[in-house]
């Protein structure tokens, strides 16, 4: 979101998520979502749709350099050599010469390989294959280890963030270290967040839909959001909320609703 003064790298307020889209739907939805205004598309080797995402990007009608395309290194591929091999497989799947942000998908501290993996990515960046090295689901101690080992922070940390789970300290740490924050699960993965009575009441009060309110909440915290929809009217609805700022009273009310972490604890395991 914010322009990091050192690198001038920034990400859009809302990215298009693709988890659970297969290759065929990803090709169709990604092309249309980009044509509708999305400028960042999020995939991962684990989503098994990089090929479809790559086709969608090509068919979007935009130049490749006008779109940020991400992918992620899965846990089983962490390590120095293995991460290089996995990266080039993603690049082939996407049919691109480079990936804009390549992430370590989960820290998996029990493997103790995220430093090696990050170092491989820095080398791939030197070689011109990666524009920005990112991490997902990294907590403050994992980020501190990266920073002290490499004297640089990841460009982006993408982690679970939604009303009821504002991760205040982590967001603050990222901001203080010029790490772009991108929240996933911001609209609650279809698990009841959008039906929460506080969310629905505040959405009505602000003339927004519940999903739009949640995206605006993330943006109001200075975080980008990544949301998935395979439905054009819903992904358009979501995009209309990008960049909207809520007043601090509304943000605080949403911070404390009862909607806790949905995904895994990153200190313990990865998602699936
Ligand atoms: N780094 C990581 O570890 C990590 C983990 C999880 C997710 N992610 C990324 O973040 C993206 C988003 O997370 P997510 O896919 O888990 O969940 P999400 O975006 O919070 O929720 C997706 C669900 O919300 C529905 N939806 C979308 N827009 C809606 C709207 N306006 N109104 C009502 N329902 C709406 C979708 O259904 P329809 O498709 O039917 O619209 C889908 O069921 C993923 O796709 C992935 O790219 C990253």
Closest C-alpha residue for ligand 1 atom 41: 229
| pTM for this entry | 0.97
Q: Residue 121 domain-assigned?
A: yes
Token pair, residue 81, equals 């050599």
Span between the terminal Cα atoms of the chain, in Å = 28
On whether residue 238 sits in a domain, the answer given is no
Q: How far is the CA of 271 from the centre of ligand 1 (A)?
A: 14
Q: Is 271 a member of any domain?
A: no
What pLDDT shows up at residue 269? 85
Domain count of the chain?
Answer: 1
CA atoms of 105 and 102, how far apart (whole Å): 9
Instruction: Please check whether residue 19 lies inside any domain of the structure.
Output: yes
Q: Which domain holds residue 77?
A: 14-187
With a Cβ cut-off of 6 Å, ligand 1 is lined by 17-19, 42, 105, 136-137, 158, 184-190, 194, 211, 226-231, 234, 237-238, 271
| pLDDT for 1 | 63
Under a CB-based contact definition with an 8 Å cutoff, are residues 119 and 151 in contact?
A: no
Assigned domain for 161 exists:
yes
Query: Counting atoms of ligand 1 from 1, which one is nearest the CA of 194?
Result: 33
Backbone φ/ψ region at 255: left (φ over 0), alpha (ψ -120 to 50), beta: alpha
What are the strands, taking DSSP E only, across the chain? 14-17, 40-42, 68-73, 99-104, 130-136, 156-160, 180-184, 224-228
Euclidean distance between CA atoms 165 and 186, whole angstroms: 9
Q: Determine the distance from the C-alpha atom of residue 207 to the mean position of all C-alpha atoms in its chain, rounded to a whole number.
A: 26
Q: Is 257 among the domain residues? A: no
Alpha helices for 60-136 (secondary structure H): 80-94, 114-126
> How confident is the model at residue 168, as a pLDDT?
98
Residue 249: in which H helix or E strand, if any?
helix 248-255
What tokens does 1 get?
């979101």
Helices and strands counted in the chain (H then E): 10, 8
User: What CATH number is given to the structural domain containing 146?
Assistant: 3.20.20.100
Alpha-carbon span 200 to 213, nearest angstrom: 9
Q: Are 34 and 63 in contact (CB under 8 A)?
A: no
Residues 10, 33, 188: CA angle, nearest 5 degrees: 75
Rg (CA), the chain: 18
Q: Which pLDDT score is estimated for 156?
A: 98
- The preferred substitution site among 187, 232, 233 for testing ligand 1, maximizing ligand atoms within 8 Å of CB, is 187
Ligand 1 centroid to 247 CA: how many Å? 25
Instruction: Compute mean pLDDT per 10 residues along the chain, 272 residues long, and list them.
Output: 59 98 98 98 98 98 98 97 98 98 97 98 98 98 98 98 98 98 98 98 98 98 98 98 98 98 93 74
Query: Under DSSP, is residue 17 helix (H, G, I), strand (E, B) or coil?
Result: strand
Q: Residue 50: name the closest of 18, 78, 86 by CA.
A: 18
């Amino acid at each position: 979101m914010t322009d990091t003064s050192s690198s001038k790298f920034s990400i859009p307020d809302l990215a298009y998520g693709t988890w659970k889209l297969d290759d065929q739907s990803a090709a169709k939805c990604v092309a249309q979502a980009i044509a509708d205004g999305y400028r960042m598309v999020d995939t991962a080797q684990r989503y098994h749709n990089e090929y479809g995402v790559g086709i969608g990007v090509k068919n979007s009608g935009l130049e490749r350099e006008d779109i940020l395309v991400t992918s992620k290194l899965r846990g089983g591929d962490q390590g120095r050599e293995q991460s290089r091999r996995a990266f080039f497989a993603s690049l082939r799947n996407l049919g691109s010469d480079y990936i804009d942000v390549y992430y370590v998908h989960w820290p998996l501290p029990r493997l103790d390989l995220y430093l090696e993996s990050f170092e491989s990515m820095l080398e791939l960046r030197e070689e011109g294959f990666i524009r920005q090295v990112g991490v997902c689901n990294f907590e403050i101690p994992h980020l501190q280890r990266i920073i002290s080992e490499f004297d640089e922070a990841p460009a982006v940390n993408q982690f679970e963030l939604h009303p009821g789970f504002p991760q205040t300290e982590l967001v603050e740490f990222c901001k203080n270290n010029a790490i772009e924050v991108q929240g996933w699960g911001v609209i609650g993965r279809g698990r009841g967040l959008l039906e929460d009575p506080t969310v629905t009441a505040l959405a009505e009060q602000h003339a927004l839909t519940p999903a739009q309110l949640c995206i605006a909440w993330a943006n109001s915290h200075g975080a980008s959001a990544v949301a998935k929809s395979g439905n054009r009217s819903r992904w358009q609805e979501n995009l209309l909320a990008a960049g909207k700022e809520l007043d601090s009273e509304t943000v605080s009310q949403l911070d404390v609703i009862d909607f806790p972490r949905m995904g895994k604890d990153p200190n313990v395991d990865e998602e699936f």
